Structure 1
Amino acid sequence: MAPYDANRHYLLCPLCKKTHAMLPKHLRRACMKKASDDEVMSVVKKAKEDAHEILQSGRMFSFDVIRGISDDPSTMRRLIKELERRHMVVTDIPSNFESSSVIPQTVQPPPTAADVQMTEPDEVESVSSGETFQCETQQGWQTENRQLMMQKGLYQKHSRDHKLLKEYATFLHKDKGLDNYRQDVDNVARYLHYMDPSGPSLRFVMQPRDKTKQYLRDLQEAKLKKRTQVNYLKSLRRFLYFHTYDADLKQEDPVLHAHCVDFLDFLKLQQTKCSKQVSKEITRKRHEILTTTAEITTPDTLAVLKLAKKDFLTVIGKVFPEESSLQMSEIMHVVYYLQAIIILKHAQRVGVAKSMTVEEWMARKPVKEHCVVGVKEHKTAAQEVAMFALTQEEEMWFDIYYTRIRPQILRSKGCKEDLDQEKFFLSSRGTPIYNPSNDLARLHTKYGIKPVSSQEARRLTETAMKTRVDVDKALVADYLTHSNATAEKHYRMKTPANILTARLILDSVQAGSSNDSEQETPCDEARASTSGSTQMDVHAAFDKLLQDHPISLDGEVPSKAARTAISEKHQRQLYERWLKAQMKLRVQHVLDQFSRRLPTEARVQAWITSKGWKSNIPRASMIVQDWKPTGSLEDAVRSDRVVKCIKSQKWTGLAFSEIEGKNRGVVTTRDFLPGEVVCDYHGKLVSHRKGEEIHRDIQLSESGYMFFFKNKGKALCIDAHEEHCECHPEKLTFGRLINHSRKHPNIKPRLYIFTSDGVEKEVILFIASQKIRVNEELLFDYGVNRKSYCGEGLDLDWL
């Protein structure tokens, strides 16, 4: 069946120069995040008009026009002008092209677009056709360094679809597990385009080193910071290291391989030089902070918390007392606000919010109507634990996030089970938050406030403490977790009671000269109302729509008339939200059918077809790509697919192989994710006594194929000393040939009970304990001296 967007018309985004099936959605998520609905729709309207003009008359060329272009001395220049007049664009024009400075810009963006915060197109994934025939010739680059980068052609890059870049992207995404790999690949693609605009190649290592040095000088002239230049060099080194050592370059081209090795040394030297300059930049920045008069006061650091509180409480109210599904933008608003409480209200370092774990939250201690939270991992973790005291209201907010909102992130489509999910704060992809400073800046920008950093908040607090008595200074120094001599001197005083006292002192400092730090001015209320009204109106309209048209697996999207009756202004947004929510529900429903074994695309497609959905149909390829084990490990054997594999012994993704020094072993022919069922240990189930008798009678070479275990105190044994079992005489089973490793096991055995033909049977399943790559040998710890493999009540042993 055709995908749900197959009949959509692709429209041009005038900012990122790409066409999109859902342009309004793309603009709101990527290129015009801060723009109003009217501004977004004006861009959409202009794109539709241009597309209509192209369809109506843009495809017809008069012979006289073509002859005039061919007869013109500047044929190329004239041709480009004509294409632009028809709302088309020519990409990758060389920076030294004679007409590049005089090519007119025929279509101007909306007047307010200049005020819109620009983002790199690759920061947000969207559906794009990849066509560029509607694109405008210039982008509204706002910052000076972006304009300089554009003028120097440093934003031009090769396509990520080229083999060299595609293999590198796969390496970063699949092998390294990097979710933000696209930026890394783009850095390399820009450098390769600079070295050779004709196409990506490793031959740049044979070019004079001066050209790479000139590239770094151009980056510097574009006023990029040294830290950014270091990131470019890191990306390039990683790219070249991958193709030099992880690919087959040495066998395919030994000469080029030798040049690559030398060039890696050259890049390392350049990176070292840049790193020294980074230190100087940091020193200059600190000097600037020390010598610049502060423009904000201590109470001003809490302004964003006041303005964002109304929207924050609105979102919190949606899941309390009864949990309901939230949009990801609402979830992120809660995450940003709670981080701001830790960083601004409690003046903690950003590392405290980033490193706080679920275990540390659960271990919080109540102290006089407050609770004290301790965080071990942070900047000064080698010296002391960061601690802060939450009020009862703040504790309730954090607990609502942990119990009702965080689980929604873990259940979301983009979340992967093999990632670190022990951190308290998670991003929209289910990964630990990457940069709380950026999250804090986004929250300030959303409400039109100049961003206040963690360093500024802490410095203002320290300045305000100068007039306090020494005891108060010492307590606040502990609260701020200083790494200086003052903190070390008073470290023994750090107790929950002292932390609470310091919190109260901090409250008085942050209140400044105001009598009531929580009192909002009329200006504050107006700004909060203006910023939050549009978003909350959409939420209210969508909630009303769901009352009459609840989302279901087989439901039909509400008609336009029904949506317009609720909100004429937001009817299109209601349509898109309803479809998105239903798609999410359907995708999860499909994933639940294949909980513990990766299905094939054909199997998923067949199952989806059997549902009879006519529109808004999940793509089987995306289901397989985003698949991960779901549900509890306790329920692994309830999967029909797993039971079928147990009975048939047709475990896919595995193969026998001769392992050096081990004879035979089992290797994988595809990737396995943590928690995925790999195979079982198959054999004849006998009593422990019978197993010992068989073990004494068989030859020494066959004695390793006996699996002894206990089930609820009953001693049992799986006898697999014969290569072919009685129930599958034509097959060699995998479990019996998996080799031992105490230090590097990648699977674990676990006992399950399943029902077959009305009879309960024991089975040992091997569960992947980490991500297992293709052609990796399966290993598990035989654990002869270990009492238990898999938790309470389960005794397994191996001989």
Structure 2
Amino acid sequence: MKFASRLFTQKCRVWNYKDICKSFPHKSCRLVLLKELRERGCLVENEPEDVDIEEGDDTIPASASAAVSTSATNAASPSEPESTSSPCSSNEDAGPCDPTWQKDLPAATTSVRIKMKEAGLYNKFSTDEKLLLDFKKYLMDDLNVNNCQQEVDNVSRFLRYMQPTGDAVTLEFLKEYRDQRLFNGLKGAELSAATVLNYIKNILRFVEYLKNRLDLDVSNLDLRNKCQAYRELVETLRKAISKTHSRDVLSTRYSRFVDGTRSLKECQRVLHVAEADFLNTFRKSVAAEGSDGISESERTNYRYYCEAILVLRHFQRPGAVEGFTVREWVDRKICNNSFVIGIRDHKTATSQLATFAITQEEEAAISSIPNKFT
């Protein structure tokens, strides 16, 4: 009796989810078995999150549930040996037996995007609306904001939320300048303070555009006053939200201070792991003419590795890498067996020039991108 109990505790009561995935490649059956094992007090190692079980319950057929329940009953008996493993299935639900397998993400039933959609915060006016086209032209021509489509879309969503009906913008929101519906809606959608501040910045710029329009004459003084009153309201709200944003930033910094952040060595590990594949692809490019013999995935990974060199080894902002132009590459300078590169258009371009020096090997690798890896 003691031997049987010990055998049951050691073998029949302890299961490994990876072995279950090998024996039951079908996800629905696997989840039913996992549920049965839990109810019978068995220990399952490497089991998925509870949300995965709940998602799988909706698609479990009754026949599979009954069959797997019977299998679990027989497997939990001390007289039965441990289940044998079968080769991994090629099915995409093969689970951890696939080295690239990852847990399914929870269903986004309460995400910010869904809440915004339900609240109508994604509705917009037509892109042909004259006022929005004029605002976009104002941003591009007067303020030199070339990448302004996101800002125009945010203003369009703001106007549609404040004016749910009608095809043309009427600026009715200026009459009720103390109306805070939009900001209450953004708060209800649980947007971060940083995102709300971005909306406020776009709204303030739009109101400033309305206030300073050249087609307004003295008779439109009332509109100017309404714009000024609405601007003052938004500025007041921005102060309160800025305090919330500051608290969020401090909370994030404190969490990083307590939990720690990735070290430089950990961040650069990707360069060491992928170096062999990178050099192998580079050797192929040198031996072959053009891009013959190099697959599309190899070309893509090669470009990613060169970008990782600039970000992780030379500590450049992703925005600087994105703004790196061919002209700046051609204008690189040689200095002490290295190549110095300057990038003009990046996030902090108004205050400083992004400069860094790469080795001769890195220069040779990046030089081959336009000819063989595009």
TM-score (norm 1): 0.28
Question: Which of 386, 395, 398 is the matching residue for 2:366?
Answer: 398
Confirm or deny that 1:242 pairs with 2:212. Answer: no
The AA in structure 1 aligned to 2:232 is D
Deviation for aligned residue 1:405: 7.9
Identity of aligned pairs, percent?
Answer: 28
Residue number in structure 1 paired with 2:174: 205
Larger CA deviation: 259-268 vs 346-355: 346-355
| Cα 1:195/1:330, change in 2 over 3 Å | farther
| Cα 1:313/1:230, change in 2 over 3 Å | farther
CA contact (8 A) 2:339 2:363 kept: no
Unaligned runs of 5+ in 2: 1-92, 94-102
Which of the pair is proportionally richer in strand?
1
Alignment of 1:615-630 (within 5 A): none
Deviation for aligned residue 1:288: 1.1
Question: Which of 335, 353, 366 is the matching residue for 1:365?
Answer: 335
CA contact (8 A) 1:315 1:330 kept: no
Question: Which of 191, 196, 199 is the matching residue for 2:158?
Answer: 191
Question: Which of 286, 304, 312 is the matching residue for 1:344?
Answer: 312
CA contact (8 A) 1:160 1:185 kept: no
| Cα 1:356/1:205, change in 2 over 3 Å | same
Unaligned runs of 5+ in 1: 1-110, 118-139, 409-799
Deviation for aligned residue 1:207: 0.8
| In structure 2, C-alpha distance between the alignment counterparts of 1:272 and 1:405, rounded to whole Å | 52
| In structure 1, C-alpha distance between the alignment counterparts of 2:355 and 2:134, rounded to whole Å | 45
Alignment of 1:536-551 (within 5 A): none
CA contact (8 A) 1:157 1:190 kept: yes
The AA in structure 1 aligned to 2:174 is V
Residue number in structure 2 paired with 1:485: none
Alignment of 1:456-495 (within 5 A): none
The AA in structure 2 aligned to 1:298 is K
Alignment of 1:647-686 (within 5 A): none
Residue number in structure 2 paired with 1:9: none
SS in 2 for 1:157: coil
1:564-599 CA-partner distances (Å, limit 9, x unpaired):
xxxxxxxxxxxxxxxxxxxxxxxxxxxxxxxxxxxx
Deviation for aligned residue 1:323: 5.8
| Cα 1:208/1:175, change in 2 over 3 Å | closer
CA contact (8 A) 1:360 1:375 kept: no
Confirm or deny that 1:266 pairs with 2:236. Answer: no
TM-score (norm 2): 0.54
SS in 2 for 1:239: helix
Alignment of 1:297-376 (within 5 A): 298-299=265-266, 301-303=268-270, 306-307=273-274, 310=277, 336-350=304-318, 353=321, 358=328, 362-367=332-337, 371=338, 373=340
CA contact (8 A) 1:312 1:333 kept: no
| In structure 2, C-alpha distance between the alignment counterparts of 1:331 and 1:250, rounded to whole Å | 59
Deviation for aligned residue 1:396: 0.8
| In structure 2, C-alpha distance between the alignment counterparts of 1:398 and 1:180, rounded to whole Å | 27
CA contact (8 A) 1:302 1:344 kept: no
| In structure 1, C-alpha distance between the alignment counterparts of 2:216 and 2:334, rounded to whole Å | 54
| Cα 1:383/1:374, change in 2 over 3 Å | farther
Confirm or deny that 1:150 pairs with 2:97. Answer: no
| In structure 1, C-alpha distance between the alignment counterparts of 2:144 and 2:349, rounded to whole Å | 27
Residue number in structure 2 paired with 1:719: none
| In structure 2, C-alpha distance between the alignment counterparts of 1:268 and 1:185, rounded to whole Å | 20
SS in 2 for 1:298: helix
SS in 1 for 2:340: strand
| In structure 2, C-alpha distance between the alignment counterparts of 1:353 and 1:312, rounded to whole Å | 21
Which of the pair is proportionally richer in helix?
2
Deviation for aligned residue 1:144: 1.8
1:438-471 CA-partner distances (Å, limit 9, x unpaired):
xxxxxxxxxxxxxxxxxxxxxxxxxxxxxxxxxx
Deviation for aligned residue 1:274: 3.0
CA contact (8 A) 2:333 2:339 kept: no
Residue number in structure 1 paired with 2:246: 279
SS in 2 for 1:373: strand
Deviation for aligned residue 1:354: 6.1
Deviation for aligned residue 1:204: 0.7
Deviation for aligned residue 1:141: 5.5
Confirm or deny that 1:164 pairs with 2:134. Answer: no
**What's the C-alpha RMSD, in Å, of the aligned pairs?**
4.7
Deviation for aligned residue 1:356: 6.5
The AA in structure 2 aligned to 1:149 is M
CA contact (8 A) 1:372 1:389 kept: yes
Deviation for aligned residue 1:243: 2.7
Confirm or deny that 1:222 pairs with 2:174. Answer: no
| Cα 1:322/1:365, change in 2 over 3 Å | farther
Deviation for aligned residue 1:216: 1.8
| In structure 2, C-alpha distance between the alignment counterparts of 1:320 and 1:251, rounded to whole Å | 74
CA contact (8 A) 1:361 1:373 kept: no
The AA in structure 1 aligned to 2:361 is E
CA contact (8 A) 2:311 2:317 kept: yes
Deviation for aligned residue 1:285: 1.3
Deviation for aligned residue 1:181: 2.4
| Cα 1:228/1:385, change in 2 over 3 Å | closer
Alignment of 1:34-73 (within 5 A): none
Deviation for aligned residue 1:388: 5.5
| In structure 2, C-alpha distance between the alignment counterparts of 1:380 and 1:176, rounded to whole Å | 17
Residue number in structure 1 paired with 2:57: none
| In structure 1, C-alpha distance between the alignment counterparts of 2:161 and 2:195, rounded to whole Å | 17
| In structure 2, C-alpha distance between the alignment counterparts of 1:335 and 1:221, rounded to whole Å | 42
Deviation for aligned residue 1:259: 1.0
Q: How many residues align?
A: 265
Deviation for aligned residue 1:246: 3.1
1:161-202 CA-partner distances (Å, limit 9, x unpaired):
222223223333565554532211111111112211013322
Deviation for aligned residue 1:291: 1.0
| In structure 2, C-alpha distance between the alignment counterparts of 1:219 and 1:162, rounded to whole Å | 24
| In structure 2, C-alpha distance between the alignment counterparts of 1:383 and 1:162, rounded to whole Å | 36
1:590-625 CA-partner distances (Å, limit 9, x unpaired):
xxxxxxxxxxxxxxxxxxxxxxxxxxxxxxxxxxxx
